Chains A and B, each alone.
Chain A
């Protein structure tokens, strides 16, 4: 069946270092969404990418959607302790509405 995979599963960085998480889908996606879940919290929508090769930035966060629309990445420049949490990518299941989530990348930042 359709799968969405994320690597790495965990990432520990020193504050100020950069961080990247990668997302790969077994099928072509119409769009990909990124969510952040703080410890003990719920997923919060960050961004959606729709176009092949699309790049979007939110302050220190840069999101990319691959040319084949099967992979995506999230890059954080100069991490801060407020970036701590688990970052999930998610894509639509086929032509249906529900989202398939990756297992997430858990980011910890050492001050």
Chain B
């Protein structure tokens, strides 16, 4: 596609529910990142994939957060037993090649998660 797409754009969950957020990166992009952006804050890193390999998950805030990219393209971020503090915009970004420090990232529109 023309850019990174994410679905759903908006998700309202009751506390304790599980949610799954989807990211479709730009076709052919090797690197994929998930970020969490709280209101009024900058994006904060969650996890990084190079193709299907999850190379860094140091930013995941708890074991309730799980991400996968089984075929090296679409990625899913799953949050189990959602809590109110999980409310945020979840951004996905992709980059064309194996990540280099000077590469840029192309962001999707984000999924706004509200946990009631």
Partner of B42, one of A42, A45, A48, A101: A101
Pair A97/B101 contact, Cβ less than 8 Å = yes
- Among the stretches B13-21, B43-51, B64-72, B76-84, the one at the interface with A is B43-51
**A97-B107 contact, Cβ under 8 Å, with A31-B102, A103-B42:** no
Determine how close the nearest CB of chain B comes to the CB of A88; give it in whole angstroms: 5
| Residue A84 lies at the interface, judged by CB distance under 8 Å to chain B | no
The verdict on A42 contacting B102 (CB below 8 Å), with A88-B42, A98-B59 known, is no
Give which listed residue, A31, A42, A97, contacts B99 with CB less than 8 A: A97
| Given A88-B42, A103-B42, CB of A98 within 8 Å of CB of B48 | yes
Number of interface residues of B (CB under 8 A): 25
Decide if B27 is an interface residue (CB 8 Å cutoff). Answer: no
Q: How far is the CA of A30 from the CA of B100 in the complex (A)?
A: 11
Residues in chain A near residue B55, CB distance under 8 A: 97
A-B contact pairs, 11 of them (CB 8 A): A31-B101, A42-B109, A45-B107, A90-B42, A96-B56, A97-B31, A97-B103, A98-B45, A99-B45, A100-B45, A101-B43
Can you name 13 extra interface pairs (CB under 8 A) apart from A42-B110, A43-B107, A99-B43? A35-B107, A43-B43, A88-B43, A97-B48, A97-B99, A97-B100, A98-B33, A98-B45, A98-B48, A99-B105, A102-B42, A103-B42, A104-B41
